[in-house]
Structure formats: structure tokens, C-alpha cells
Amino acid sequence: MSGTYLGMPAFPVAAATATADGRLRANLTHATRTIRGKRAAAVAELPDWAALRAAGAAVKDRTLRHLDTYLTQAEEAVTAAGGTVHWAADAREANRIVTRLVRETGEREVVKVKSMATQEIGLNAALAGAGIRAYETDLAELIVQLGDDLPSHILVPAIHRNRGEIRDIFAERMADWGRPAPEGLSDRPAELAEAARLHLREKFLTAKVGISGANFLVAETGTLVVVESEGNGRMCLTLPETLISVVGIEKVVPTWRDLEVYLQLLPRSSTAERMNPYTSMWTGPGESDGPRAFHLVLLDNGRTDTLADTVGRQALRCIRCSACLNVCPVYERAGGHAYGSAYPGPIGAILTPQLRGTASEVDASLPYASSLCGACYEVCPVAIDIPEVLVHLRERVVQGGPASVGGQRVRLKPARGHAAERAAMRAARWALDRPGVLRAGQRLAARTRRLHPDRLPGPGRAWTDTRAVPEVPAESFRDWWQRTGGGREAGA
């Protein structure tokens, strides 16, 4: 694994490798099962959970349907509070803005609190290209960064690593990035966390620039909210002189009061806690408290294309809690890397092909990375109907159709590799419209049933890699009905 998602194989290929990795599957099974149980208990504490969930979905729907209004309101409020707002149409522009802002401070190092948005745009690599070193400070992100690895879970990015692997990564790599790991480091979680504390404290105390994402941006007040556990977020948001927050445009919520919904939904869905240990809220740069300069970078990068799809739009409600990952039978076995983006699991399977389009092989494969069991929809705290969007995107992959790409309305062609499927569906439609043809075909199939292979030839081969071809019955249902009168006659 090297630090990029570019050129990753399609989901089935990546998943085939991942599912054969016994250690990975053991790590994942343990982790997802543990957190699943805890989450259910945390949610059960609130008798009004269903009402909170409905409100959480509705507030986001209201926001999305009037996103321009709320973004300009947020921009005004942040500016009035002394912050500077930047708009980035895509990843490249966001990276350029952040790089320029860091350069203007004269610094060559930044501390970062874990952020999905900056992972999505590949900010660390862009900064490195400009000679700026970005230090990830979330423990799991640190493990990923030191291991030259990629995150595999939204909440617990190093969920695929067990304590032994983490110990080895710390012992071998910490010295390359700063303070080395203590001699004789064991694999006890407390000792590993202490090693991270010592390693990172130097960075926190000297850093002049911090980079963050945000969980929420309140339009009414211009307040940004970061929810975390370790305190690395507080460090990055408090001690540097300059703070740069990269925030997806869908993170805005209309009012201060709306936080009452999400601050109940998010911690319980995500870490299965009544409340996460630390939440920081700030409105502009503080006079004497916290960074003296604050920059907000509002990121589109495919979000407006997602917004344009009336079925897929609901994916933008996502508050990145990761509950859908932990209940997903496919994620549990395949792991996060197979999804080929910063957003793994069921939400990644609908978000990534909308943010990036379905042109690449991996993106076109994602709507199929699901059994459509519906568990993700059930746990989603903002009621995103993930299965509905998956089916919708499958249709887009196979048939093409109208979509928005880079803000332009286009007519997509069917994705490559789905020609056979489309031809089969077309043939089926034709035959099903013609009863005579259908009957003749069924009889022919029945008579030749002994000759059918177990595996399909040609493009159907992939399908039969993991499934047996269904057996053709000796007689079609229609023929049986006609012969027996619906089973009333003898021989039924």
C-alpha cells in the first residue's frame, strides 16, 4: 500500500486479495463486532432516537435544497468574525489555496487533525510536493502515515492493524518523523498511546500552522465544530498561530440550534459514546484565545454534481459517523482499502462514484460492492437510503444517462465492461415482450439442459467465478400449468 488511491484495482479484485488475508479479516471482524454492539446500546439509551434521526435527515435536506443561501450566510458570518473564506471548485484548487496559505506564513511544517476532506483531496502529497511536511496527529492517522499506508475506516483509520503491527511501525518509523519510539516498546495499547503522546507533543508545542476539517459549519453564526477524542484536535485548533480548515460545502447546518440534533446523533452512532471526549467550537480567530488567523476553504470537488442527482443527493447528508461500515457484511470481509477512496464501506460505495464519476474501473465497480441487505440504511443516523442510491448508480453504470460532471449536464455512456450485461438485458426485454419466442427459448433450454456448462463462457465468466449457474428445470412453469391446469390434474 503506498499513500495514494490512484490506479487502484476495481473492487472485486481488491476484495479478493483482502478476503484472503486472515489477519486483516480477524482484525476487522473483532473491531466491527465490538463497535456494533456498543453502538446499539448507546442508541437504545435515547427513547427519541427515531425522532432525532428524522430531524437530522430533515435539517440536512433543508440545507441541501437551499445550499447557496446557507453557504453565503456562513461566508458572511465567518468573515464578520474575522476569518477569511476561500472557495475551491476541485481538489487541485483546494490544495493550491492551502499550499499558498502555508507558504505565506513562511513555515515548512504543519500539524493536522484528522480530516476526511483533506484525505479526499490528497492534501498531504500536494504539500509534500511544495516542500511542506504535514504531520498527522490523530493516533490512527499517525499509524497510517508512519506505515506509508492508507486509512481503511472513517472513524478508526488503522482498524486493519493490530497492536503488534502498530508496535513494529512505531519502533521502525517514528525516528524518521521526529522523536523516536522509546526503547523496548511493547504492544500494550496504553504504552503505544504514550509513545504517540511523546512523539507528537514536540510538534504541538512548536507548530505555527494547523490544518483541520470540520464536522459542522453553522451558517447563522459562522461557528465551526470539530468533534474528537484524543485532544490532538484541540491542540491543532488552539496552539498554532494560523488555522486553515478545509470543509466540504455539505457540512453547513442552518442554525446554532441544529447542533442539538447532530451532537446527539453523531457520538452515539460513531464511537458509541454518550458524548465524545472533546468538542471544539470556534467562530473566527480569537482575540487572545487560539489562532490569530483563520482561513476557511469551502470545497466542492464533485459535491455539486452529487447535489444535481435527485436520488443521489441524500448522500450529502452524511455526517461521517461510520456506523454503516461497522454493520456492513461486505466491508467486514473486504476491508476499507478495497473501496479505493477516502470513503470506504456503504457510504463510500455511493459517495465516491458520485464525487468522482463512474468513468474509472474502480468507481464503476463500487455500486456493486454491496449485498443490498439494507443494514446500512437502518443504522444511518440521517436516514440515507444507501441501497436505493446503489441501485440507482448501478443503473447509471449499465445504461448511462443524464448526470452532472464538473457542473455540466452530460449524457453518460454506459461504463466499459458492462456491454454484455446490457446486451443480455436488452435481449431479455425483447423476448419477454414476445410470448412465442419466450416459450420456444424455454423449451430449447429445457431440452438441452444436460449440455449446459457449470460456468458461463465469455463475459459471464466473472459472474460464475463465485456462483453456480442455476439449473434449468425440465419443464417451464407455463408448460407445467398448461399440462396440469395449475396442478388440479393428476401428475401435478
Partner 1 sequence: MSSRDLVLGRIRRALADVPRGERPEDVPVPRDYLATHSPADAVELLAENLADYRAVVHRADAAGLPGLVARLLAARDAQTVVVPPGLPEEWLAATNAARVADTADLTPRRLDAVDSVVTGCAVAVAETGTLVLDGSPDQGRRRITLVPDHHVCVVRVPEQVVDSVPQALARLVPTRPLTWISGPSATSDIELDRVEGVHGPRTLEVVLLRE
Q: Under 8 Å CB-to-CB from 189, ≥6 apart: which residues?
A: 163
With binding defined as CB under 8 A, does residue 100 bind partner 1? Answer: no
The DSSP output letter for 107 is: -
Taking the CA atoms of 252, 253, 259 and 264 in sequence, report the sign of the dihedral they define. negative
Beta bridge partners of 298: 87, 247
Which of residues 13, 16, 308, 420 is near partner 1 by CB under 8 A?
308
Which of residues 13, 17, 79, 89 is near partner 1 by CB under 8 A?
89
Subset of 407-446 contacting partner 1 (CB under 8 A): 407, 409
With binding defined as CB under 8 A, does residue 66 bind partner 1? Answer: yes
With binding defined as CB under 8 A, does residue 290 bind partner 1? Answer: yes
Measured in degrees and rounded to the nearest 5, phi and psi for residue 293 equal: -125, 135
With binding defined as CB under 8 A, does residue 331 bind partner 1? Answer: no
Which of residues 4, 29, 34, 186 is near partner 1 by CB under 8 A?
34
With binding defined as CB under 8 A, does residue 204 bind partner 1? Answer: yes
Please state, in angstroms and rounded to a whole number, the distance separating the CA atoms of residues 12 and 349.
13
Please state, in angstroms and rounded to a whole number, the distance separating the CA atoms of residues 36 and 41.
9
- Cβ closest to partner 1, residue 102 vs residue 218: 218
With binding defined as CB under 8 A, does residue 298 bind partner 1? Answer: yes
With binding defined as CB under 8 A, does residue 238 bind partner 1? Answer: yes
Identify the three-state secondary structure at position 278. Answer: strand
Give the CA distances from residue 226 to residues 56, 60, 183, 235, 464, in Å, rounded to whole numbers and listed in that order.
Answer: 18, 18, 34, 12, 47
Q: Find the shortest distance in angstroms from Cβ 70 to partner 1.
A: 8
- Cβ closest to partner 1, residue 305 vs residue 361: 305
Q: Please give the size of the binding site for partner 1, defined by CB under 8 A.
A: 101
Please state, in angstroms and rounded to a whole number, the distance separating the CA atoms of residues 473 and 463.
21
Task: Select from 101-109, 260-268, 317-325, 480-488 the region that touches partner 1 (CB under 8 A).
Answer: 260-268
With binding defined as CB under 8 A, does residue 140 bind partner 1? Answer: yes
Q: Find the shortest distance in angstroms from Cβ 156 to partner 1.
A: 6
- Cβ closest to partner 1, residue 10 vs residue 267: 267
Q: Find the shortest distance in angstroms from Cβ 149 to partner 1.
A: 14
Q: Under 8 Å CB-to-CB from 444, ≥6 apart: which residues?
A: none
Task: Select from 5-13, 251-259, 427-435, 462-470 the region that touches partner 1 (CB under 8 A).
Answer: 251-259
With binding defined as CB under 8 A, does residue 179 bind partner 1? Answer: no
Please state, in angstroms and rounded to a whole number, the distance separating the CA atoms of residues 336 and 339.
6
- Cβ closest to partner 1, residue 120 vs residue 361: 120
Please state, in angstroms and rounded to a whole number, the distance separating the CA atoms of residues 402 and 484.
48
Secondary element (H or E) of residue 248: strand 242-248
